[in-house]
Structures are given as structure tokens and as C-alpha cells.
Amino acid sequence: MESAYIGIGSNIGRKIDHCKRAISLMGRLEGCSVRVQSPFYRTEPVGVEGQDTYVNGVVRVDTDLSAGTLLNCLLEIEADMGRVRRKKWDARVIDLDILLFGSRIIKKPDLIVPHPLMHLRRFVLTPLLQIAPDLIHPVLRKSMQELAGLLPGDGQAVETYERS
């Protein structure tokens, strides 16, 4: 069994419901069990302008799937939920990213682990801090707490999601 951390995000429609459904679908994958879930956060889009805010979170899954097989399963969940990939960083019903896969370092054309931008994104590190603050980034050799402390103080607003 390997522990994998999956980033979850949505900025179209019923965002929190999409995130919860994706987590439920991940838990139904054979060889995959959702073990820990972060709170959800309302976050600003990063890298684009003119999009609605996101709901983001992170889950830890324990899996006996390979990283490549897990990625394919996550892409199937996205497609089943209606995600259409048009362009990079486009608005999306659901986005599922493998952030970490144990302490492995993977560099393939279709999969890079650790996620190459995770240490620069408050919307990834804030939920990770809630479930694994001492987890070590296998390339940067810093904990999630240390990486979060290196983020600039401005930009990338993240606030706890409160359902109305």
C-alpha cells in the first residue's frame, strides 16, 4: 500500500458537491481507500483572470494501484463528472491532481510527482497542512509546514469554506 495525496478543485456549478462526489468516487475505486480529508477552502484562481473562485481540498488515499493507474482512474472520474479539457487552467467542474505518491519521484510525459507547482500554491498547501503538516516533499526536502512558510504573504487568498 502506498499513501497518495490528491488535490481536488472545482469552480463551476455546485462546487462543493462536485468535490464531495469526486471523493466518494475515489473511495469506490478498487484498490483505493480514502483515509483522510482536509476541510474545503474557497480560493482565488491562480494563473488566470475572469474565473469564479474555486473550492479546493486534499485527500489522502491508501492504494495498491500504481501511480499511472491511479492517474488514469482520476482522469476517468473527471470525465464521468463532465470535465472537458479545452485549454490549460480552464474553468472546470472537477480537477483531481496527484500531489504526492508516497515518497516517490516520477517524471513521465503524462505524470510528474511530486506535482511540480504544489509548493507554490497556497490552495494546495493550506489543506495539506490540515492533514499532514510534517509530510516531507521528496524533492525539496522540506515539510509542508516549511513550504507554506515560504509562500509570499499576499495573493492567493484562501479562506475556510462555509456553506450557506
| pLDDT tens readout for residues 43-77 | 888 766 767 888 999 999 999 999 999 999 999 99
**Could you tell me if 67 and 98 are in contact, meaning their C-beta atoms sit under 8 angstroms apart?**
yes
The residue among 34 and 53 whose pLDDT is bigger is 34
CA distance 39 to 58: 8
pLDDT at site 142: 97
| pLDDT tens readout for residues 87-106 | 666 678 899 999 999 999 99
How many domains does the chain divide into? 1
The pTM of this model reads 0.93
CA distance 52 to 56: 13
Identify the band that residue 164 occupies on the pLDDT scale cut at 50, 70 and 90. very low
**Could you tell me if 40 and 58 are in contact, meaning their C-beta atoms sit under 8 angstroms apart?**
no
Q: Give catalytic residue positions.
A: 83, 92, 95, 97
Measured between its terminal Cα atoms, the distance across the chain in Å is 38
| pLDDT tens readout for residues 98-150 | 999 999 999 999 999 999 999 999 999 999 999 999 999 999 999 999 999 99
Residue % of the chain over a pLDDT of 90: 77
Domain containing 46 equals 2-160
CA distance 39 to 130: 8
CA distance 19 to 73: 16
Domain of residue 86, CATH code: 3.30.70.560
